[in-house]
Amino acid sequence: MTTLHVPLRPSWACAVCYQSWPCLSRRRQLIAEYDRAPASLSLLMSSYVVEAADDLHDAPAGTLHNRFLGWLSRPSERCER
């Protein structure tokens, strides 16, 4: 059984490892889950940016973009952070 790393809201920390969500484990899970549908993964993560912006009022938009979407465009960094 795989532990699903989900966000705790409104902090957006991982409920399992308490790292900033999406944590490394969740990124790996998402990459595996959406292996054949990268556009769908991008859309899903975009929806999380909107939700996180609602909760994290003080977070700069660029920071949220990098956190939720930036790792998708850099394959070498997908599972490193």
Q: How many domains does the chain contain in total?
A: 1
Instruction: Indicate whether 8 belongs to any domain.
Output: no
81 band by pLDDT with thresholds 50, 70 and 90: very low
Instruction: Indicate whether 11 belongs to any domain.
Output: no
Q: Which residues fall within 8 angstroms of residue 13, CB to CB, at 6 or more apart?
A: 7, 19, 20, 21
Instruction: Indicate whether 59 belongs to any domain.
Output: yes
Instruction: Indicate whether 71 belongs to any domain.
Output: yes
Model pLDDT, residue 2 = 67
Between residues 30 and 75, the one the model is more confident about: 30
Q: Which domain holds residue 54?
A: 29-76
For the entire predicted model, the pTM comes to 0.85
Encode burial over 37-67: b for 16+ CB neighbours within 10 A, e otherwise. eeeebeeebeebeeebeeebeeeeeeebeeb
What number of residues does the chain have?
A: 81
Instruction: Indicate whether 44 belongs to any domain.
Output: yes
Average pLDDT over residues 48-54: 97
pLDDT tens digits for range 15-34: 999 999 999 999 999 999 99
Instruction: Indicate whether 18 belongs to any domain.
Output: no
